[in-house]
Amino acid sequence: MTVATVFKAVGLLAILAFPALGFSDYVLHIAISILLWGYIYTGWSVMGRFGLVSLGHGAFMGIGAYVVTMLWNHAGITPWIGIPVAVIVSMAVGFMIGFPCFRFRITGHYFALVTLALSEVVRLLIVALRDYTGGSLGVTPVSVISADNPSSFLAMQFSDKVSWFYIVVAVWVIGLLIWRAVDRSMIRYAMEAVSQEEDAAASVGVHVTRTKLIVTMISAAMTAVGGAIYGQYQLYINPETTSGIAISLQIVFAAIAGGMFVQLGPTVGAVITLLLTETLRQTVGHDVHGLDVMIYGAMLVLFIIYMPRGVVGRLIDAFERRSETPGTPGQARPQPGE
Amino acid sequence: MDFPLTDPFFWETVIQGLLFGGVLALLSLGLNIIFGVIDVVWICYAELIMIGMYTIYFLYSDYGVPLPLAMGGGVLVVAVLGAALHHFIIRPILHTEPINQLLVTGGVLFFLQGFATLAFSVEFRNLGVSFGSIEAGDMYIPTTRLLAFVVSLVAVVGLWLFLKRTYLGTAIRAISQDRDVMPLMGVSPRKIYLVTSALGGGLAGLGACLLVLLYDIHPAIGLTFGPITFMVCVMGGLGNMIGGFIAAFIFAEFIALGGFYAEIEWGYVIAFAFFIVMMFIRPQGILGTKN
């Protein structure tokens, strides 16, 4: 048993014991939000860390949230079936957008803007199909829980926060495991080669299009699950909070702020952004709208200029630099800009 | 429904689309020149327009500045903002991966949106200036939209003349063609980039002058116009101004006719879907050449 394993075990136990400490529902809600968004940001970073900067993850989140809720509301199909359906739909959409992009070598700005268009298409579709989706007003999954019957496994509706906490912890841990599985697979090496020099990678036998597609579809599926869980937890979704440009940018920036090249980076990004929002709300009050967004934006600018590898990435760099012998340059890893 | 070609509402829709295309063309102009020269996408471009709209609104409504002067002030503020954006935020990371520059302006997007929410609140504001509408046969055409259309045509021609006929314009075009050789010819890219950013900002300000007449102002208005502006530029071929101009009209007609036959969102859905398909057919833009 290595030190790292002990750390992980202690950390996970601490998280699992968290609800037993008797915190209020508010604190639990923050914890759930952090883990859920941390999971979604992790899902984004599965592809984002390889230079596939998607501004379209709002599309996958929207698909996850709406497919599950629509199936439940209009066909009475349980989210337990709805989520796999949403995953398949999001992977299909990921394939549809990814295949031509990768085939025709749409990268960088162009990839970002094509995916941005995708997330707008999904948002506008949700609005346009207002007869089914409730349009901009949003929609509530038909509730089967009440005071007498506080939770329904079939409908995936639970009124107590503790159940949700454990569900979200499980999802988050699975997300981290997927991240690590990709990190330790051949896909990582292939993708790193591709992001350095696509032609060279192809010439040594990397199937560029296929590798990119695999990463994209994994990422899409993870985000769709996140969207579905978000809908079930909040019991309310609307096109603005689950899809479109705003949410897509939020996903990208939180992942970058935390550090997309490290397993826990995106989760730290979720901690930073949510704690910032909540602290400001508690200290400055409800009347001052916009301050959190403003600080958040300024932070992102500073992060991208001064620490493009994010908070966690920066900490690891600093740590590695200190443990190296003095005098050697501390550029342990290539910066994303190189 | 009548046969569309004899239906005056159909033609009114087509003309509305044409006029909206003029607005989109103007909006995409500044973004295009920035991309063409500096190779950066300002994701916060529409937020600069929003700041311009607020500047004009407050100068006109609260300080009683005459509208043309207020508009001049708006253009100036956004031009300075554009130059500042380049100098303080983009220049430090110009040598890093291009996507970083796109993302950093995304941070600016949030900053400006948060700033507007904080300073001006989320309420919708309207300048309350109307020029009435022109009646032509059975059709009504709002004068403001016609004006917007004319202004954007003039701006396009003006920009074209500036780029072709002036020393500075020639230098800008030269930099966009070969950014490595031009410094050897005695052109400072730093200066040219700064001027181009101010020019792009000024064009965003000009867009603000027109939008302020047409729409309510609120902090999130950038999210309404941002995506469509990017799509227009990309479909025209980023940096290709004539392509962007044509793409603006294609988009606007999609939206207008979509709104005519179904609902306005369907127009947007079809326009965006068309954009995605076009990216696969002609990734280099509608007028682009394969290189």
Average pLDDT of the segment spanning A23-35:
90
Examine the pLDDT at A325 and tell me if it is beyond 70: no
Lowest mean pLDDT among A29-43, A192-206, A225-239: A192-206
The 8-class DSSP code of residue A336 comes to T
B154 inside domain: yes
Q: What is the largest CA-CA distance in chain A?
A: 68
Which helix (H) or strand (E) segment is A50 a member of? none
**3-state SS, residue A106:** coil
In angstroms, rounded to a whole number, what is the distance separating the alpha carbons of residues A206 and B101?
Answer: 29
Interval A209-249: pLDDT, tens:
899 999 999 999 999 999 999 999 998 998 888 888 888 98
Which of A101, A128, A337 faces B265 most closely, judged by CB atoms? Answer: A128
**B272 contacts A117? CB cut-off 8 A:** yes
User: What own/partner pairs with CB < 8 Å and gap ≥ 24 does B115-118 have?
Assistant: B115/A290, B115/A294, B116/A290, B116/B47, B116/B50, B116/B51, B116/B54, B116/B219, B117/A289, B117/A290, B117/A293, B117/A294, B117/B219, B118/A288, B118/A289, B118/A290, B118/A291, B118/A294
Average pLDDT of the segment spanning A26-30:
90
Q: What value does the mean pLDDT of chain A take?
A: 85
Nearest of B196, B232, B204, B251 to residue B36 by alpha carbon: B196
Size of interface A-B (CB pairs under 8 A): 156
B50 inside domain: yes
Interval A313-323: pLDDT, tens:
778 877 877 77
In angstroms, rounded to a whole number, what is the distance separating the alpha carbons of residues A80 and A101?
Answer: 32
Task: Tell me the residues of chain A between 210 and 249 that have a Cβ less than 8 Å away from chain B.
Answer: 244-246, 249
User: Are the beta carbons of B156 and B245 closer than 8 angstroms?
Assistant: yes
B248 inside domain: no
- The pLDDT value given to residue B23: 86
Examine the pLDDT at A329 and tell me if it is beyond 80: no
Measured CA to CA in angstroms, residue A290 lies from A81, A281, A287 at distances of 39, 10, 9
The 8-class DSSP code of residue A325 comes to P
Closest chain B CA to residue A108: B99
- The pLDDT value given to residue B205: 93
What share of chain A has pLDDT > 90, as a percent?
31
**3-state SS, residue A102:** helix
In angstroms, rounded to a whole number, what is the distance separating the alpha carbons of residues B125 and A256?
Answer: 35
B135 inside domain: yes
Q: How far is CA A186 from the centre of its chain?
A: 23
| B chain contacts of residue A245, beta-carbon cutoff 8 Å | 223, 226-227
Of B181 and A70, more confident: A70
In angstroms, rounded to a whole number, what is the distance separating the alpha carbons of residues A223 and A60?
Answer: 6
CB atoms within 10 A of CB B162: 15
- The pLDDT value given to residue A1: 61
**B279 contacts A112? CB cut-off 8 A:** no
In angstroms, rounded to a whole number, what is the distance separating the alpha carbons of residues A254 and A41?
Answer: 7
Q: What's the distance, Cα to Cα, between the start and end of chain A in Å?
A: 36
**B113 contacts A249? CB cut-off 8 A:** no
- The pLDDT value given to residue B5: 67
Q: What is the largest CA-CA distance in chain B?
A: 65
Which helix (H) or strand (E) segment is A338 a member of? none
Examine the pLDDT at A326 and tell me if it is beyond 90: no
Using a CB–CB cutoff of 8 Å, tell me whether A295 touches chain B: yes
In angstroms, rounded to a whole number, what is the distance separating the alpha carbons of residues A176 and A89?
Answer: 22
In angstroms, rounded to a whole number, what is the distance separating the alpha carbons of residues A136 and A132?
Answer: 12
Domain borders along chain A are 23-244
Closest chain B CA to residue A128: B265
The 8-class DSSP code of residue B238 comes to T
Lowest mean pLDDT among A23-32, A99-108, A314-323, B158-167: A314-323
The 8-class DSSP code of residue B89 comes to I
- The pLDDT value given to residue A4: 79
Tokens of A258: 């935390």
Average pLDDT of the segment spanning A79-107:
91
**Beta-carbon-side half-sphere exposure of residue B201 (alpha carbons within 13 Å):** 25
* Alpha-carbon dihedral B135, B140, B144, B148, rounded to 10 degrees: -100
| B chain contacts of residue A257, beta-carbon cutoff 8 Å | none
What value, to the nearest 5°, has the Cα angle with vertex A210 and ends A192 and A92? 120
- The pLDDT value given to residue B83: 94
AA identity, residue B216: D
Interval A133-171: pLDDT, tens:
888 888 888 888 777 777 788 888 888 888 899 999 999
pLDDT band at A338 (very low <50, low <70, confident <90, very high): very low
User: Are the beta carbons of B123 and B142 closer than 8 angstroms?
Assistant: no
- The pLDDT value given to residue A331: 43
Of A337 and A196, more confident: A196
Tokens of A313: 């990435």
Residues of chain B with pLDDT under 50: 1, 290-291
User: Are the beta carbons of A190 and A201 closer than 8 angstroms?
Assistant: yes
The 8-class DSSP code of residue A21 comes to G
Examine the pLDDT at A42 and tell me if it is beyond 90: yes
B256 inside domain: no
Domain span at B131: 13-222
B263 inside domain: no
How many domains does one find in chain B? Answer: 1
User: Are the beta carbons of B226 and B46 closer than 8 angstroms?
Assistant: yes
Which helix (H) or strand (E) segment is A240 a member of? helix A239-242
Interval B252-290: pLDDT, tens:
888 888 877 777 778 888 888 888 888 777 777 766 654
Tokens of B152: 């954007």
Q: Nearest C-alpha of chain A: how many angstroms from B135?
A: 32
Q: State pTM to two decimals.
A: 0.86
B184 inside domain: yes
